[in-house]
Amino acid sequence: MSEHDDEDFAEATLIQAVENQLAAGEPACVQAVLNKLSLVGYAREDSLEMMALVLADEIDCMLREDRPFDAARYERGLRALPQLPEGSE
């Protein structure tokens, strides 16, 4: 697997995680953010990609700081969309 394949797999996995959150209705803010992004004109696919980047940012911070998942920080990141977390591409 090339580095590009790894990135594609990671992105697909994160998007699936966001889809799972939407299906479960937890956290509730995930659906609200998707609705907001749709209202301002983003396609569902683009919205999910942005939301996956926020999830990736929280997971990265979690690992870097050796701490548990911070649901409040994740929600703040989601609610800030379409502005992405610093350092996200």
pLDDT of residue 85: 87
pLDDT of residue 86: 81
Task: With CA atoms as reference, report the closest residue to 79 among 39, 41, 32, 46.
Answer: 32
Would you place residue 2 in the very low, low, confident or very high pLDDT band (cuts 50, 70, 90)? Answer: low
Per-residue pLDDT at 88 exceeds 70: no
Lowest average pLDDT, out of 1-15, 22-36, 52-66, goes to: 1-15
Query: How many CA atoms, within 13 angstroms, populate the side-chain half-sphere of residue 17?
Result: 16
